[in-house]
A and B are shown apart, each in its own frame.
Chain A
């Protein structure tokens, strides 16, 4: 019997086109033995929630560098919940000002990573979150 694999959706909502970070994280999670579904650039919250549903992921990783995180994150959380996926843990990477972090965490974001964050920490947190 196959062991349960951690499935992660890595998505870039919004309009900025810088996907290097998302790709590095996707690759790191892959090397940690996870199955990473990469959706590419310029995803709407609806597209992300739909992909998360179809792929039955445990974790959604969002890469946001556009500054629109306070609009995108709650919308995605809301849609996941509406689909019955309230157990899916959502992480954000990108440029997030310190003053927004408490509010994002309050909404239910499981982890926030800025520039310089180590992939080892991300892997550890993801593994912890799906336990």
Chain B
């Protein structure tokens, strides 16, 4: 009899510990509600947990895109939750109860750049599909870099190249003047008279002085990178310009004859 009680107490303790452990896992997610377009550690956990129970079959990359969105909706409808494709408190709690998350395994593989999955019921060592032959050195790039998000339709190299061009052309200009140079590049891509992609526009012969004199290869700063994003997201301080010049150094008579739109910093922008 006493033995039985002991066993019961022991059992209850076990349950309690399990519950506590589970609670600890709930707090693994931060309080934020996750929506499409977000990225970060919470999204990694969301994807890993959805994959654990078989709803998400895509890459665990920390970006909340369409794949994650459909997976989450599927999960919500199967578990009787409100199907809104957003990970709020209730959804996160249900998800934590239904799944597991091995933070160490997922994050170490992400940091090493390995190709891996995280399905429940499959031994972890079978889920690393391909090891990255050149893993980043520890203390090098923060893993944040991996899931930094990009505007639709643009590649990382487009963004980098534009940052280089903006920095080379306009690093001494006010911020809005840097966005303006980015906007001119994009206006040229749009314009049928110019090449239809970013690298061809930037490297068109004699199009940009920074390309001609090699200043484009300076390492751009954060401001230039921010300016690229604003230009790509549609802000155009030039209001449709496709040329600009510095009136102090411009030698071509032709450029002065273009219809001008306005001046930003040192540059005059024109059609």
- Bind each other: no
